[in-house]
Amino acid sequence: MFHDNNVLIQLKKKFKVNIKRVEGIVKKSEKGFGFLEIDAQNSYFIPPKKIKKVLHGDKIIAKIGFSKNREIVIPEKLIESFLTIFVGKLKIFNKKFFIIPDYPFLHEYIPCTFLKEDLINFESGDWFLAELTEHKLKNNNFFHAELIKFIAKKEDPFSQWWVTLTKYNLKKDEPKVNLDNISCSSYQRKDLTSFPFLTIDSSNTRDIDDALFVKKNKKKSFELIVAISDTTSFVSSKSQLDHIASQRGFTNYLPGFNVPMLPRILSEDLCSLKPNEKRPVLACKIYITEKGEIQNKNKFFMAWIKSQAKLSYKNVSDWLEKKDSLHSSNIEIEKQLLLLHKLCLARMQWRKKNALIFPERKEYKFHLSRNCEILKISADDRRIAHRIVEECMISANFVAANFLSKKVGFGLYNNHAGFDISHAHNVSVLLKKNNIFIEPEELLTLEGFCKLYRLLKKKKYKYLSNRIKKFQSFSEMSLVPNPHFALGLEKYATWTSPIRKYGDIINHRFLKSIILNKNPIFIKNKILKKISDQRRRHRLSEREIEDFLYLKYFKKNNFDKKIFDAEIFDVLRGGIRAKILENGANVFIPKSFIHNIPSEIILNKDEGIISIKEKILFRTTDVIKIQLIDIRMDKRSIIAKTII
């Protein structure tokens, strides 16, 4: 009887107008409820019944309501699903098939069917690539997925590798190309096969792309020849092999094995600078003073070499440190190592004064059995042999950048911009609080940036360095040269790993076009984007496999009672993240495991400080004592507590 009541109609209209809607990202908790995160400061509670209509990570529009005097939101419209194409694990219940997405906060059992064949041949725990075809916020009000591709059986010891590579759309095998008629391009080359070139790599390296030779001239300055595998003599531009290499971008080095960018017959044989084998190279002669300064008369040329020794970082370091004999009876090789050592020290001294030196870091290595069981995790310091190779490669890449910019004005450069204008101001303010006075304008220059980091290293401002690093920009690739602030160099262009990096193949072609007096091949910016994207995917895949192996390692060895030293590297609202120094594992320490009265703790993310009652307890870069509490395989996290 109230259907035509005008007052009621007006009230309804007014009510509809006043309904507020918000847009955000769904964040689910372990306890079955969730929030709609609008931005870093604002979020709304989603009731348990309504949270079932969405997935963690979904971007949605929701209407604001009230429940028990609390503001809530009701999911209303899907903007973008977190899941589209995804990897998941099959589950079978009562002859019904479900797929569970392989993400820490996604535990939904999504009904599924297989596009290609009957699922009767598979069992619970097998891995698939799937596509979400129905979402509860859409018309049908249910979730559904189609299984696109079988990935691995649950008992496959490499299943996590195949799952991770599939997730990031990376290849798991070497390229399959017919190489029956492949041969090296015929160029006029200098014959340097009598020179005692040597290579230094890890003991198990097979894709060797750089060899070194050095001598001292009458003026007592160094003449260094860096010889790099002439990979482009086998991989011609616009060929099928070139297209494959450009799509892969890099060799993917994962714990346990690598997936090469090029077929192994090239990467580990024909292009590899194996000992006592004649190989074509692109070489650079670099003139370096006794004090380590690179002179301006360097030159590039093509040559033949024959490496006379394949040495390992460990053996060379042990020999130079007088801990072991050299695994080579060649006196000329010993002379080469002594000269390379002197050259390395000179270059390091020059870079300390005029550029920047990489901070020292440990290298963590997983030792696996054939069935992917973790035997141990070693932590190795970078030693003198690593520094020798590093200084030679940095010198070669610096010379290449100058050569390209002078001869053609472009190339594939690695740039690092340091700070932008706004961040330079923030850093200057932060420095003044620590009685360091450098104006923003100076920080924007290469000289000012180097001055800052040399000062921070000299004074051992570890915490301050950590805070300032968060203001730095990221390195990027460009076709035009700009300074590389992080290295402290005016220009930088890598060309020393063409077997492993497609970007270095591009620079080889630029360099060879200059040597041969030909027009350089033009490349498009989309190639840079593709290379950057592939580099990101490779890093993510490597990190994910490492995280998985850490979880297996701690689960297997039961370290519950052991106390570890760990360095804090991040402060979050809910706790702190730290790295175990013994093995490199990242752990999370919840707020409740830092102090027994969580309400008294203040976690300052911006300043990286943990305080209790206004007294600083910890800050980033502090090394603390921790004990492991829980290994959560499904969440891929290691939970720890502090020991005070």
Phi and psi at 428, nearest 5°, equal -60, -40
> In the 3-class helix/strand/coil scheme, how is 581-613 assigned residue by residue?
CCCCCEEEEEHHHCCCCHHHEEEECCCCEEEEC
* Domains of the chain by residue range: 19-80, 85-155, 190-415+486-545, 418-472, 558-642
The Cα 201–Cα 389 span in angstroms is: 9
Integer Cα distance of 400 and 489 in angstroms: 12
Nearest to 633 by CA among 536, 549, 568: 549
Q: SS3 of 216, please? A: strand
CA distance 528 to 503: 8
- 85-155 and 558-642: same fold? yes
Whole-number pLDDT of residue 220 = 84
Query: Backbone dihedral region of 57: left (phi > 0), alpha (psi from -120 to 50 degrees) or beta?
Result: left
86-137 tens-digit pLDDT: 999 999 988 899 999 998 888 889 999 987 666 668 899 999 999 999 999 9
| Per-residue pLDDT, 2 | 42
CB 204: neighbour CB atoms within 10 A? 6
Taking domain 558-642, whether its CATH number is 1.10.3300.10 is answered by no
Choose among 254, 392, 238, 385: nearest CA to 310. Answer: 385
Long-range contacts of residues 633-636, Cβ cutoff 8 Å, at least 24 apart: 633/551, 633/555, 634/104, 634/107, 635/30, 635/104, 635/105, 636/104, 636/547, 636/548, 636/551
Residues 6 or more apart whose CB falls under 8 angstroms from that of 205 comprise none
The pLDDT confidence band at residue 291, using thresholds 50, 70 and 90, is: very high
Positions marked active-site: 201, 207, 209-210, 313, 500
* Domain 85-155, architecture per CATH: Beta Barrel (2.40)
Residue 32's pLDDT is what?
67
Report the chain's C-alpha Rg in angstroms: 29
Q: 502-555 pLDDT, tens per residue?
A: 999 999 999 999 999 988 877 878 889 999 999 999 999 999 999 999 999 998
Range 335-358 average pLDDT? 95
Which class is domain 19-80?
A: mainly beta
Is the entire prediction scored with pTM above 0.85?
yes
pLDDT digits (tens, 9 = 90+) for 207-223: 999 999 999 987 789 99
> Nearest Cα to 226, choosing from 278, 183, 273?
273
d(CA 554, CA 14): 60
Token pair listed for 573: 């609202």
More confident residue, 184 or 343: 343
Contact by Cβ (8 Å): 532, 501:
no
Name the phi and psi angles at 228, rounded to 5: -115, 135
Q: What percent of the chain has pLDDT over 90?
A: 72
59's enclosing H/E stretch is: strand 59-67
Give me the mean pLDDT over the 430-450 stretch. 94
